[in-house]
Amino acid sequence: MKRFLLFVLSAAACLQVACINEQFDLTNIESDGIAIGGDESEFLMPLVTVKFNSGDICQNVEHDYSSIMELREQINIWLPTTLPNNANYVDIKALSNNPTYLQSIMDALFAEMHTDKAKRLEVASHVMTEFRAELIEQLSNSGNATLKTASSQLINTSIANGAEILAQLFVSYPNEIEGILQDMSAEDLIDINLENIDTEIPALDISEDIEQMLTENLDPSSEENAVNALYLFGETKSGFPFQFRIRPTIEYTDIDLGNILIDSNTTTPIDDVRIYREDLQTLFNGSQLVMPISLERYYPNEQFNDNSEISISISLRKTGGLNI
């Protein structure tokens, strides 16, 4: 009986031991490496939205920092009601670097001035307001006695009266006056440069554990097909009747969002730009958005007002899991 019992117990013990899987040792569980999501995951996070109104967009010091609204008004004066070839926009760059294009604009303007007195007076008033001294000088230096006489009349007269005189001279002496007006238009239409827009981005109150979740498992910059990576992306919207070109960068980082063409009343995407841990830390700790801006096109038939704005939204994309 004892042997039988011993046999039964031994058999039971062997059976039990035989079913033990040593790999599943509960004292040896790897508990690190926990992440939210995995290699195929993608997380998006809003970071910053910056808005600029017409007061933020201005010409450079050579034009006394005049605002985009003032710029629009001065451009409009020199534009015909109908642009050459029925275009719906003015190529601002071509005004500076394409004399043929500029000439076509001026030819259309002068043709309209010959038939439209209101347009004649509008241009004449602008010249009297902005270029009186230069006008008087050019008239007095001309070889025409009437123009010389007119120059002395313009010295002390009112803008309205002077505009009338200039408008009449335009009709009587178109060749001479067109030449003078073309010289003056160049000051308003050529080399239009906007001042950089710099904006301080305050520190983002994001706790350290969130920052670690986003940055702890990033692949090195040498990894071209990175699984765990950070990117900035976003979009811009503009309510202005202009096409702008911007190139936003973040100061003290290598973040360059690239050349972005913002068209009128459209939303333009900002493509992914890969960033790294140090870049994100700088963003989180507070930084400066530096944005060179230039004009590309002007849409004279579109309106805008003081409430029009450009907005730039920058978001974060994290590919791969979030380590916890």
Partner 1 sequence: MKKIYTLLFAALLVVSASAQNATSYFMEGSVARSQWNPAFAPNRGYVNIPFIGGIQADVQGNIALDNFLTMQNGKLTTILNSGVPASLALAGLDDMNRIGAGAKLDLIGFGAYTKNKRNFWSVEVNMRVNADARAPYQFFDFVKNGNSGNFANLGMSLDSYIETSFSYSFPIIDKLYLGVRGKFLVGAARVAFNFSDFEAYMGADRWYAHTAGTLEVSGLVPGTDVSSDGTRIYNFDDMGEEVKVPAGYGFGVDIGATYDILPELQLSLSVNDIGFMAWSSESSAVGKVDEDVEFTGVEIGTDGEATQPSLDLDELSFAVADNSGLTKALRASVNAGAEYSILNRRIGFGLFYSAKFWEYKTRHNLTASVNFRPFKWLHASGSFSYFGGDSTAAGVALNICPGFINLFVATDLLLCEKTPQWVPISQSNMNITFGMAVPLGRRGERHLTKIK
Binding residues (CB under 8 A) for partner 1: these are 5, 8, 12, 15-16, 19-39, 41-53, 55-56, 199, 201-202, 204-207, 209-210, 217, 309, 313, 315, 321-324
Would you say 22 or 62 has its CB closer to partner 1?
22
> Which pairs from 117-122 meet CB under 8 Å and 24+ separation?
117/167, 119/80, 119/81, 120/167, 120/170, 120/171, 121/163, 121/164, 121/167, 122/77
Going 255 to 258 to 263 to 268, the CA torsion angle's sign is: negative
For partner 1, the closer of residues 36 and 171 by Cβ is 36
Q: How far is the CB of 231 from partner 1 (least distance, A)?
A: 13
- Shortest reach from residue 275's CB to partner 1, in Å: 16
Query: Which C-beta is closer to partner 1: that of 35 or that of 186?
Result: 35
Q: Closest CB to partner 1 among 75 and 201?
A: 201
Identity of the amino acid at 96: S
Cα(54)–Cα(126) distance, integer angstroms: 22
Name which of 49 and 98 has its Cβ closer to partner 1: 49
Smallest gap from residue 84 Cβ to partner 1 (A): 36
Question: What's the CA gap between 39 and 322, in Å, rounded?
Answer: 10
Q: How many angstroms separate the CA atoms of 268 and 260, rounded?
A: 8
Amino acid at 116: D
Nearer to partner 1 among residue 21 and residue 115 (C-beta) = 21
What minimum distance in Å lies between the beta carbon of 49 and partner 1?
5
Q: Shortest gap between Cβ of 226 and partner 1 (angstroms)?
A: 15
DSSP, res 137? H
- Coil/strand/helix, residue 9: helix
Q: How far is the CB of 10 from partner 1 (least distance, A)?
A: 13
